[in-house]
Chain A
Amino acid sequence: VSALTSAPGRVAAVAGVGFTPFSRDSGRSVLALATEAVAGAVADAGLRLDQVDGMASFMVSDDSVPCVAVSSALGLGQLRTVLDVQLGGQAPCHLVWQAAQSVARGDAEVVVVYRALNGRSGARVGSMQFAGMGGQYRYPIGYGAYLMYVGMWAQRFLYETGQGPDDLGAVAVSQRRYAQDNERAARRQPLDLEAYLAESYVVEPYRRSDCTVEVDGACAVVVTSLERARDLAHPPAVVASGCYRAGPHPGLDIGDHLLWEDYTRNYTSWLRDELFGRAGIGQGDVEVAEIYDCFTSTVLMGLEGLGLCERGESGAFVRSGATALDGRLPTNTGGGLLAEGYLHGMNTVAEAVLQVQGRGGIRQVPRHEVAVVTSGALMDGSAMVLTADR
C-alpha cells in the first residue's frame, strides 16, 4: 500500500483515541463530555494538550459544542486550523480526512476530531425535526422521523435486490455478538435470529434491533503526521485515503430523497472508485470493515456499494458468517452503532483505528493491516481507508 499517492505533502496517521462511557443519562454537560474524550485521546496518543493545534467536530441541530469551547475548557494554546460543521453521520471520515490534509499541508501538527452529545438524555436525533425546506412535505403527513427516511430506502433496496428480514436480522445478530465482548456497548444481551424476528416492527422493515441505540457520550481521535506518530505510544493507523461524496440530487435536507434516482445505491457506490484508487488498493485487500450502521440496512448497502460483496448478496454474505471475527471480512467489530451506541460514526472510526493498531483486545481481527470505514447512510457521506505502517 502506498499511502496518499495522489496527495502532496506529508502522510498523516491516527495516533490515539478517547472515549467517555456511553450512558442513558450522563448527568454532565456536553462540554464536559467533549473535554474528557479529547483529553483522553491526546493522552492515549502519548501527546500533551499543549501540542494540539487543530480541532474538528460536527453537530446536528446545535446538539454539541464548538471546537473553541473545548479548546478554552482544556486551556489549549493556539488553534491553527478548525472545522465545525452542521452534519450528522456523514461527517467523521470527512473530518478525519480534512484533518489529515491539514497535517499533510503543514497547516497543523496535531488535530483532534471529536463528537460529543447527550444524545439520549438531551436532544434525540431519532425524534428530531430537521431544519430545511423539505420538511413541509414530510411533517404534515407523519413522515417525520429519521428512521422513516432510511426505512423507506430500505424497503426499496430490499425489494429490488430480493432481500428481506433474514438479511437485516443477520446484521443485527452479527454485530450483537461483537458487542458482548465490548464493555462500552449499550446493548450486550445475546441476540439470535429467532429473537430478532419475534420483535415487532417499529417502522417497517425495522424492528428494535435494526435501529441504533441512542446514548450520551463522546469520542475523539488524534491525527498527526506519520513521522511523528511513529514515535508515539501506539502503532500509527495511516490515513491512506479519504473521500466525501454527495450523489446527484442529494435533496433539500437530510430527509429529502425524492430526486434520488436509485434507492439501491447510496453514496458508497459513488465514492468507492476514488476511495480505493487513492489508497492504491482493491476491495480484495480490505481486512476489516467498519460500515456506518444507524440501521441494519445501511450495512448491507455499504457492503454492496463499496463492492465488498456482489450486488444483492450482502445478506447472504453476512448470513454466511463472513462478517464475524473468524470470517472473511470482520465487520463492525465493536458492535457498531446498533449495539455500541449512536456516536454518529465517530466511534466507528475509533474502532477501525483500534483494530489497525492491534488494540482490539478479545475482538481483535487476526489480519488487520487494511481497514475501510464509512460515515453516513443515504445521499451523502464519507469514507476512509486506514492501513498499518508498512
Chain B
Amino acid sequence: MVGGPAGAPGLAATVPGLRPAPLSTDAVLPVVCLGGVRRRGVGRPWHRLFVRAGHVAVSPGYAGDLPYAVATVELAEGPRLLSRVDPPATLAIGDRVVARFVDHPTWTELYFAPEGASA
C-alpha cells in the first residue's frame, strides 16, 4: 500500500475521455510483469546506499515505504495497469493477484494482493 507524500493524487484518471474501467474487488488477475522492487541492502539501508554510492534518488518521497513492489498487472479482460502489489515478498511473474481498495482521506487507492493473501 502507498504511504508516500501527503495529499498524493488519486489513481483515477483526470485525462478527458480516459476513465479506468470499473473493477470488482474479487477480480482475479494475473501479474505479467514485476519490477521496481527495492530492497534494503543487507545491513545497509537504502538511504545509505544512496549516499555511499551517489546513486540516483529513487522517488525519495516514498523511502518510508521500502521495500515495496510495483507491477504491471494484466487484467483478465486484457488491459494492463500499473499498481503496487502488497505484500511484495512472495510474488512472482505469472502469479494471480486480486484487487484491493483502500480509502485514504482524499482518494481511494487500488492495489493488488496475491490471491489467497489475508486482507
Determine the distance from Cα of A153 to Cα of B35 in the docked complex, in whole angstroms. 8
- Give min CB distance, A117 to chain B, whole Å: 15
Determine the distance from Cα of A360 to Cα of B91 in the docked complex, in whole angstroms. 46
CB pair A258–B82 under 8 Å, yes or no, is yes
CB pair B93–A152 under 8 Å, yes or no, is no
8 A Cβ contacts from A144-166 to B: 144-148, 151-156, 159
Cβ-Cβ contact count across A and B, 8 Å cutoff: 125
Q: Which residues of B contact A126 (CB under 8 A)?
A: 55-58
Q: Which residues of A contact B56 (CB under 8 A)?
A: 124, 126-127, 145-147, 211, 214
Determine the distance from Cα of A204 to Cα of B38 in the docked complex, in whole angstroms. 6
- Is B23 an interface residue when CB atoms closer than 8 A count as contact? no
CB pair A156–B2 under 8 Å, yes or no, is no
Determine the distance from Cα of A200 to Cα of B46 in the docked complex, in whole angstroms. 9
CB pair A142–B33 under 8 Å, yes or no, is no
Interface string of B62-93 (1 = CB under 8 A from A): 10010010101000000011111000000001
- Is A75 an interface residue when CB atoms closer than 8 A count as contact? no
Determine the distance from Cα of A212 to Cα of B103 in the docked complex, in whole angstroms. 39
Q: Which residues of A contact B61 (CB under 8 A)?
A: 142
With A136-B13, A140-B11 known as contacts, the answer to whether A203 contacts B36 (CB < 8 A) is yes
CB pair B59–A211 under 8 Å, yes or no, is no
- With CB as the reference atom, state the residue of chain A lying closest to B12: A136
Q: Which residues of A contact B98 (CB under 8 A)?
A: none
Determine the distance from Cα of A145 to Cα of B41 in the docked complex, in whole angstroms. 19
CB pair A200–B4 under 8 Å, yes or no, is no
Partner of A258, one of B60, B70, B80: B80
CB pair A142–B4 under 8 Å, yes or no, is yes
With A136-B13, A147-B56 known as contacts, the answer to whether A141 contacts B2 (CB < 8 A) is yes
Q: Which residues of B contact A136 (CB under 8 A)?
A: 9, 13-15
Partner of A138, one of B41, B44, B82, B111: B82
Determine the distance from Cα of A208 to Cα of B84 in the docked complex, in whole angstroms. 23
Q: Which residues of B contact A146 (CB under 8 A)?
A: 56
Q: Which residues of B contact A151 (CB under 8 A)?
A: 35-36
- Is A233 an interface residue when CB atoms closer than 8 A count as contact? no
CB pair A202–B70 under 8 Å, yes or no, is no
- Is A133 an interface residue when CB atoms closer than 8 A count as contact? yes
CB pair B82–A143 under 8 Å, yes or no, is yes
CB pair B70–A208 under 8 Å, yes or no, is no
- Give min CB distance, A239 to chain B, whole Å: 33
CB pair B37–A201 under 8 Å, yes or no, is yes
Determine the distance from Cα of A143 to Cα of B61 in the docked complex, in whole angstroms. 11
- With CB as the reference atom, state the residue of chain A lying closest to B70: A143
CB pair A133–B57 under 8 Å, yes or no, is no
Determine the distance from Cα of A191 to Cα of B82 in the docked complex, in whole angstroms. 35
CB pair A142–B68 under 8 Å, yes or no, is yes
- With CB as the reference atom, state the residue of chain B lying closest to A159: B93
- With CB as the reference atom, state the residue of chain B lying closest to A199: B41
Interface string of A67-100 (1 = CB under 8 A from B): 0000000000000000000000000000000000
Determine the distance from Cα of A86 to Cα of B32 in the docked complex, in whole angstroms. 32
Determine the distance from Cα of A259 to Cα of B74 in the docked complex, in whole angstroms. 11
Determine the distance from Cα of A139 to Cα of B14 in the docked complex, in whole angstroms. 14
CB pair B35–A142 under 8 Å, yes or no, is no
- With CB as the reference atom, state the residue of chain A lying closest to B11: A140
Q: Which residues of B contact A145 (CB under 8 A)?
A: 56-59
Determine the distance from Cα of A205 to Cα of B42 in the docked complex, in whole angstroms. 16
Q: Which residues of B contact A130 (CB under 8 A)?
A: none
Q: Which residues of B contact A201 (CB under 8 A)?
A: 37-39, 41
Using a CB–CB cutoff of 8 Å, the interface residues on chain B facing chain A are 2, 4, 8-11, 13-15, 32-42, 44, 46, 49, 53-62, 65, 68, 70, 72, 80-84, 93, 111
Known: A137-B11, A140-B9, A140-B11. 10 other contacts (CB 8 A): A124-B56, A137-B13, A139-B9, A141-B2, A142-B36, A152-B36, A152-B70, A153-B35, A204-B36, A204-B39
Using a CB–CB cutoff of 8 Å, the interface residues on chain A facing chain B are 24, 124, 126-127, 133, 136-148, 151-156, 159, 200-205, 208, 211, 214, 257-259, 263
25 residue pairs bridging A and B, Cβ less than 8 Å apart: A124-B56, A126-B56, A136-B15, A139-B8, A140-B10, A141-B82, A142-B70, A143-B36, A145-B58, A148-B35, A148-B36, A148-B70, A152-B72, A153-B35, A155-B33, A159-B93, A200-B40, A200-B41, A200-B42, A200-B44, A201-B41, A203-B36, A203-B38, A204-B36, A205-B35
